[in-house]
């Protein structure tokens, strides 16, 4: 059940260049959310400013974690949150990852702040006794949200080679897939070019791919029809899905991208 709640900021700090981690005490959300779900953050002048969606990046006790990149006016406001501030927050929203079906080889793949929803999934897998392989890429070392991770087998890449291998993280994944025999399930979140590349990879490799999509959202609640994505799964005769309500997690096979 989703609730509009008051959350209290417990911590808010920069963890990489323009990337921050906030810990928010909000028991009504922390006690029922799943990896892959997100929250809407409402800002002071909430009539004129649409809420902003953020993936839940982790949970501890009664708090949720958000990992956010400062890119515009509202993420700048978030950057100024102080411990003890009260914020309006709605969630948990969306469907979340379904990771019970295939536990043979669990792979997480993220670009930059796309790591956020996968960090929560990693925590759940780790709790279930699975240490996933986590492929994490960024332009340069300072833009990686973390550089080491005891809960996963971390593989880093950067465009400039400042840490990890030089080049695209998807190339590192292809190399890895060529060395394993088991079928794998890959959970992905990142920029559009990375997701389109994953779609191509999924045609040739023995993998299932689930993607957490980020579309610009207005309501985040299934009301405005502003976050439509083409969906070819189509048993229902319906050709479109709403990222906020039917997603944000989709089987990548089902998602169609414009050229
Ligand atoms: C389901 C979901 C989960 C998300 N999770 C996270 C997260 O965990 N961490 C995080 O940093 N961001 C996340 N985002 C993106 C985040 O919502 C936007 O960065 C935020 O709304 C920007 O607000 P702003 O006012 O600072 O900037 P705005 O002025 O709203 O946007 C600045 C620029 O970013 C673009 N933009 C805005 N929203 C998005 C979006 N959703 N996808 C791509 N480009 C966008 C705008 O077109 C504009 O160019 C998520 C988005 C969705 C839909
Ligand atoms: S953002 Fe309004 S329907 Fe999805």
Residue 162: CATH number of its domain: 3.40.50.80
Range of the domain at 246: 213-259
Q: How many helices (H) and strands (E) does the chain have?
A: 6, 17
Query: Are 118 and 134 within 8 A, CB to CB?
Result: yes
Mutate to test the pocket of ligand 1, among 2, 17, 36, 52 (most ligand atoms within 8 A of CB): 52
**CATH number of the domain within which 236 lies:** 2.10.240.10
Pairing of the two strands 3-16 and 86-93: antiparallel
Taking the alpha carbons at both ends of the chain, their separation in whole angstroms is 37
- Among protein residues, the one whose CA lies closest to atom 46 of ligand 1: 216
Out of 52, 71, 93, pick the residue that ends a domain. Answer: 93
**Of 53, 96, 247, which is best to mutate to test ligand 1, by the most ligand atoms within 8 angstroms of its C-beta?**
53
Residues in a beta bridge with 172: none
Convert the pLDDT of each residue in 69-92 to its tens digit.
999 999 999 999 999 999 999 999
CATH number, domain with residue 86: 2.40.30.10
147 and 206 share one domain = yes
Asked if residue 149 and residue 73 are part of one domain, the reply reads no
Q: Residue 156: which of 137, 171, 141 has the closest Cα?
A: 137
Cα 89 to Cα 15, 163, 179, 187, 240: the distances in Å are 22, 36, 44, 26, 28
Cα 70 to ligand 1 centre (Å): 9
69 C-beta closer than 6 A to ligand 1 = yes
Which pTM was predicted? 0.94
pLDDT in tens, 204-255: 887 999 999 999 999 999 999 999 999 887 666 568 899 999 999 999 999 9
């Amino acid at each position: 059940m989703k609730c509009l709640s008051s959350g209290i900021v417990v911590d808010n700090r920069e963890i990489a260049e323009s990337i921050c981690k906030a810990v928010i005490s909000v028991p009504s959300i922390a006690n029922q959310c799943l990896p892959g779900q997100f929250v809407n953050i409402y800002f002071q002048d909430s009539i004129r400013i649409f809420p902003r969606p953020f993936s839940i990046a982790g949970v501890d006790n009664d708090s949720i974690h958000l990992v956010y990149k400062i890119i515009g006016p509202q993420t700048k406001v978030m950057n100024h949150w102080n411990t003890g501030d009260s914020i309006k927050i709605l969630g948990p929203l969306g469907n979340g990852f379904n990771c019970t079906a295939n536990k043979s080889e669990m792979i997480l793949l993220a670009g930059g702040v796309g790591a956020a929803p996968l960090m929560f999934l990693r925590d759940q897998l780790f709790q279930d006794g699975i240490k996933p392989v986590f492929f994490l890429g960024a332009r340069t070392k300072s833009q990686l949200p973390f550089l080491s991770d005891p809960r996963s087998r971390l593989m880093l890449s950067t465009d400039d080679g400042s840490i990890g291998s030089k080049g695209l993280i998807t190339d590192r994944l292809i190399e890895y897939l060529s060395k394993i025999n088991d079928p794998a399930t890959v959970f992905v979140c990142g920029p559009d070019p990375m997701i389109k590349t994953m779609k191509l990879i999924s045609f040739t490799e023995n993998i299932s791919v689930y993607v957490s999509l980020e579309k610009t959202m207005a309501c985040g609640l299934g009301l405005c029809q502003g976050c439509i994505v083409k969906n070819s799964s189509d048993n229902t005769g319906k050709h479109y899905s709403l990222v906020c309500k039917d997603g944000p997690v989709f089987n990548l096979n089902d998602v169609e991208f414009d050229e």
